[in-house]
């Protein structure tokens, strides 16, 4: 951990911040602060600008009339040679920004000046095995703690004022392929975390830890047949199997290394008191080895935050053979239909379909394609189950005469998905979802594979290619009631960053070419763009201070695309890496 700038200037800045907070800093972050995050505009204390993850702000000082005047006020560099993908969403509280960088680093920054207050660098072992770059998507705030996960699968709690370690807990064994990349979720004083590592045959899980002490509360595996546990009076007690009997939807013992990693984290709906977590691909990718639905892979799970029990599940891709992880965020929202309020939740899946579910019981309401081309399925049935297309699945290696790879198929979307991890936003004003998506295809084939601890467990090969000369990325405005695409913005490179919607009728996102962009939420007209110097694959935020509205975004090209992207990676090979956070506001006379 490194401290910087502890000078008279820093002391004066800290005094100003403390005075402006009028004692609020001493109280620390409470559960109420997190639940109210969407309506309290002077801070950002949850990933998603509220536990439901809508990424909507009621601020409208910045709007379609004046956004063209938006100006940078400071840029903070993460420094050094540790660049790579920067997928973090910053947090802001009491004049301090908390933001993570690649290689499991945390920075505290004075939001008035952009001066670094402290920095924490995790000491990572040499043997970490991150699938898709050395990224981190952000911290959680609770009490006086800043909490985040590391690439060697640890939860670390830091003192918010000094950056010193308060506690540290091991969540899983990194030598088996586990890591932590998501921002933790805080629910009722507990830290809720998932795990990464689905490409290594891990067993996905969701766990709860006491935020103040780091003590484990419960653990819930997300592969059918594994036992969940709850801790009572310090003792580990069995808490029921996940799903049915071991191997019920899996052949043999493959459920023991079944994947279903919960690598994107979750959202929480206070109305139903349910957490929503998505699960990743089943392992291995070669689906011919594991006939059956392979629960609970490629699914959305509703989980009781008090016990870890799975209340309901919805599987978007049963018997997934294309790496269509189901981790993408499930966002709670309400809408009116036939004079009734529908308590819904929506997700845009990697498989190319957009789903609207009843968030109380997981029932399928409707689903529709949100990308231009889907080759693996003909559509969805009345329960939302995909209707598989003949010839859409890569061939069985066992059918190959030479015992090598199976027949290759062209599949759209590619395994990187119609939408990947990058979070969409929901506007309470327009009723639209703003979805960062991509149009690409892949050639995919299966290969023989056997499990080896800590080794990649795919049993598949692939190449990815664009489907259009002029664009890959598409920012879409989608009506969840009709399935209509209201407008779209096409981007030459893939879109890999999150989206923010505001009451000022604005939609913010960034692109790999380096631009922070603002669009009219109703028409899709681009109203503003600013070059940050490196590709944006983080998620923008907004808040107000001293009556002024600010926007911040992390800049730093990387993530899965340049590592796994095949022909797509060639299209973006000229883009520069980076590592910085930019903050903007209107000039005083606007």
- In the annotated binding site, the residues are 87, 137, 181, 199, 281, 323, 420-421
Vertex 232, ends 230 and 237: CA angle to 5°?
Answer: 45
As a whole number of angstroms, the longest Cα–Cα distance in the chain is 76
- Catalytic residue chosen out of the listed positions 37, 94, 133, 323: 323
Q: Is 516 exposed, middle or buried (0-12, 13-18, 19+ CB in 10 A)?
A: buried
Q: Which two tokens stand for residue 285?
A: 């990718």
**For residues 460 and 447, is the Cβ–Cβ distance under 8 A?**
yes
**For residues 185 and 191, is the Cβ–Cβ distance under 8 A?**
yes
**For residues 418 and 424, is the Cβ–Cβ distance under 8 A?**
no
Which residue has 């898709």 as its token pair? 132
Q: CA nearest 242: which of 274, 207, 287? A: 207
Q: CA nearest 215: which of 167, 267, 164? A: 167
What's the Rg (C-alpha) of the chain?
A: 23
Extended strands (E) in 124-245: 140-142, 145-149, 154-159, 165-170, 185-187, 190-193, 205-210, 216-221, 227-232, 235-241
**Cβ neighbour number for residue 454 with a 10 Å cutoff:** 17
Cα(37)–Cα(48) distance, integer angstroms: 9
Cα(112)–Cα(578) distance, integer angstroms: 22
Cα(296)–Cα(224) distance, integer angstroms: 6
**For residues 437 and 476, is the Cβ–Cβ distance under 8 A?**
yes
Cα(555)–Cα(581) distance, integer angstroms: 6
Q: CA nearest 513: which of 465, 451, 557? A: 557
Prior bond of 296 cis (ω within 30°)? yes
Strand partners, 312: 302
- CB contact set of 326 (below 8 Å; sequence gap of 6+): 278, 279, 280, 297, 298, 299, 300, 315, 316, 317, 349, 350
- Show binding-site residues for pyrroloquinoline quinone: 87, 137, 181, 420-421
The CB-based long-range contact list for 381-385 (8 Å cut-off, 24+ gap) reads 384/314, 384/316, 384/355, 384/357, 385/315, 385/318
Cα(346)–Cα(288) distance, integer angstroms: 30
For residues 374-413, one letter each, b for 16 or more C-beta atoms within 10 angstroms of the residue's C-beta and e for the rest, the string is bbbbeebeeebbbeeeeebbbbebeebeeeebbebbebbb
Cα(283)–Cα(456) distance, integer angstroms: 10
36 is catalytic: no
Which residue has 């004066």 as its token pair? 12
Which ranges in 210-297 belong to alpha helices (H)? none
- Show binding-site residues for Ca(2+): 199, 281, 323
Q: Which positions are catalytic?
A: 323
């Amino acid at each position: 951990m490194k401290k910087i700038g502890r000078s008279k200037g820093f002391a004066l800045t800290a005094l100003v911040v403390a005075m402006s907070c009028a004692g609020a800093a001493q109280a620390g972050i409470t559960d109420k602060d997190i639940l109210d995050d969407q309506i309290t505009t002077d801070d950002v204390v949850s990933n998603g600008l509220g536990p439901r993850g809508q990424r909507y702000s009621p601020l409208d000082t910045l709007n379609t009339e004046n956004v063209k005047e938006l100006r940078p006020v400071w840029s903070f560099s993460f420094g050094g040679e540790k660049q790579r993908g920067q997928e973090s969403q910053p947090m802001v509280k009491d004049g301090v920004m908390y933001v993570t960088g690649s290689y499991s680093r945390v920075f505290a920054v004075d939001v008035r000046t952009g001066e670094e207050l402290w920095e924490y660098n995790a000491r990572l072992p040499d043997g970490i095995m991150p699938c898709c770059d050395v990224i981190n998507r952000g911290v959680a705030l609770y009490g006086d703690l800043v909490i985040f996960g590391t690439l060697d699968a640890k939860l670390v709690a830091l003192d918010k004022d000094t950056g010193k370690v308060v506690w540290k807990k091991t969540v899983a064994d990194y030598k088996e392929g586990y890591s932590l990349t998501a921002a933790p979720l805080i629910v009722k004083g507990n830290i809720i975390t998932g795990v990464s590592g689905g490409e290594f045959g891990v067993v996905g899980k969701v766990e709860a830890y006491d935020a103040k002490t780091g003590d484990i509360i419960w653990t819930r595996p997300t592969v059918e047949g594994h036992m969940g546990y709850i801790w009572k009076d310090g003792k580990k007690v069995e808490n029921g199997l996940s799903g049915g009997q071991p191997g019920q939807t899996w052949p043999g013992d493959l459920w023991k290394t079944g994947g279903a990693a919960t690598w994107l984290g979750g959202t929480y709906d206070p109305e139903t008191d349910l957490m929503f977590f998505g699960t990743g691909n089943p392992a291995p990718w070669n689906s011919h080895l594991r006939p059956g639905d392979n629960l609970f892979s490629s699914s959305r799970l509703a989980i009781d935050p008090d016990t870890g029990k799975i209340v309901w599940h919805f599987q978007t891709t049963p018997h997934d053979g294309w790496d269509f992880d189901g981790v993408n965020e499930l966002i709670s929202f309400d809408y009116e239909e036939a004079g009734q309020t529908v308590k819904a939740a929506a997700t845009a899946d990697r498989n190319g379909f957009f789903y609207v579910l009843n968030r109380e019981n997981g029932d399928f309401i409707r689903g529709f394609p949100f990308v231009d081309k889907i080759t693996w399925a003909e559509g969805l049935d009345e329960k939302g189950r995909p209707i598989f297309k003949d010839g859409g699945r890569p061939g069985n290696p066992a059918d190959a005469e030479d015992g090598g790879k199976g027949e290759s198929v062209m599949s759209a979307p590619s395994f990187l998905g119609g939408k990947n991890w990058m979070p969409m936003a929901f506007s309470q004003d327009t009723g639209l979802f703003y979805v960062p998506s991509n149009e690409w295809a892949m050639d995919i084939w299966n290969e023989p594979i056997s499990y080896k601890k800590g080794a990649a467990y795919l049993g598949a090969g692939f190449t990815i290619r664009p489907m259009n000369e002029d664009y890959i990325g598409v920012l879409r405005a989608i009506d969840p009631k009709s399935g209509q695409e209201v407008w779209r913005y096409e981007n030459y490179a893939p879109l890999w960053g999150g989206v923010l919607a505001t009451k000022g009728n604005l939609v913010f996102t960034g692109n790999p070419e380096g631009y922070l962009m603002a669009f009219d939420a109703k028409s899709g007209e681009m109203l503003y763009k600013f070059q940050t110097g490196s590709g944006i694959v983080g998620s923008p935020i907004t808040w107000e201070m001293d009556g002024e509205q600010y926007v911040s975004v992390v800049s730093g090209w990387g993530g899965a695309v340049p590592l796994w992207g095949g022909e797509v990676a060639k299209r973006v090979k000229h883009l520069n890496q980076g590592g910085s956070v930019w903050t903007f506001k209107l000039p005083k006379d606007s």
